[in-house]
Amino acid sequence: MSDKHRQQLDVLSIGDVVTDAFIKLIDDQAWVEERDGKQILSMEFGTKLPFDHVQVIEGVGNASNASIAFSRMGLSSGLISNVGDDLWGGDIVRALKKNRVDTRFVHENSGKVSNYHYVLWYKEERTILIKHEEYAYHWPRFRKIDIPKWMYFSSISKHAIDYHDDVADWLDENPEVKLAFQPGTFQMEAGVERLKRIYQRSEVVVLNREEAVLVFGGDHDNIHDLLDRMHGIGIKIALITDGPNGAFVSDGTGRWSMPLYPDPAPPVDRTGAGDAFASTFIAALMKGADVQSALLWAPINSMNVVQHVGAIEGLLTDSKLDYYLRNAPKDYHPKEM
């Protein structure tokens, strides 16, 4: 597509992209037990265990899931990421294109393999075996036409710590671009001080309750304390999800709690529920919604994702989101805190 006909992207997502192979375990071939306060998935050791089936899903990962969610909701969406020069990488790029995600910034790394994760799928929960390949992370060169309205930054390899400085430098040079940040595991472990420029620049930061305590400290039982700490670093909109308790958000002037949208059936697989919530909330802001209106959409996409296998199949269009909203229970609305 020529520059003349290329439109400015609404959003570019940044983060690692993977293939997930879901291995469906047979219920009576595994069990869950409590040990040292943690739930442990157990299977018989040193033997051959039957499994039900394998389902392979290409082009997933926190940032990629978000990029597809944005596209489903009618936003022009792209992804900055890395793949290897293998068959898996080609499959990932094709899957992204199929979902109408702009892949011009997905870099193919010569001599490298693409990220491939194995998901042990037991009942509705999953345990993911992960390995982030060591790519040479380079921030792309942007022409004026390439600069998006928003950036969405999420999970990336621990080998990419200096890459965060490149992102922060570019954002300083382009103050009109808004940033949404959904930290991944390594980014949370890196600490607030190391990623202070990213947090301070963020329009929205999304964490679950346990993650918020891990990153910012504070009282797990005091949601106001956690939101205050997030604002204290410079975050404009702080969003904390809390499992069955729904979500809590503060924009610095008002605070609201939001219940879950009721499940139409027991969840099939919980993979991607958090990504769906975060990306849908931010997509609504991109489309001009206020915080309270954005809160109405986010739980709906999260609800529908867990009715399917993997993080992307259940992502909804904006018209489908509106359908569920029109048919929501009377008590489904944000409540002031």
Give the whole-angstrom CA distance, residue 69 versus residue 77. Answer: 9
Query: Residue 18 is inside which H or E element, if any?
Result: strand 18-25
The answer on pLDDT for 307 being more than 50 is: yes
pLDDT at 5: 55
Q: What is the DSSP string of 190-227?
A: H-TTTTHHHHHH-SEEEEEHHHHHHHH-S-TT-HHHHH
**CATH fold of the domain at 11-30+52-336:** UDP-N-acetylmuramoyl-L-alanine:D-glutamate ligase (3.40.1190)
Helix 291-305 crosses helix 273-286 at what angle (to 10 degrees)? 150
Strand-pair category, 247-250 with 178-181: unpaired
Give the whole-angstrom CA distance, residue 78 versus residue 274. Answer: 20
pLDDT at 124: 86
Q: What is the pLDDT of residues 67-93, one digit of tens each?
A: 999 999 999 999 999 999 999 999 999
**Residue bearing the bigger pLDDT, 152 or 145:** 152
The answer on pLDDT for 300 being more than 80 is: yes
Q: Are 61 and 23 in contact (CB under 8 A)?
A: no
Q: What does DSSP assign to residue 153?
A: E
pLDDT at 8: 87
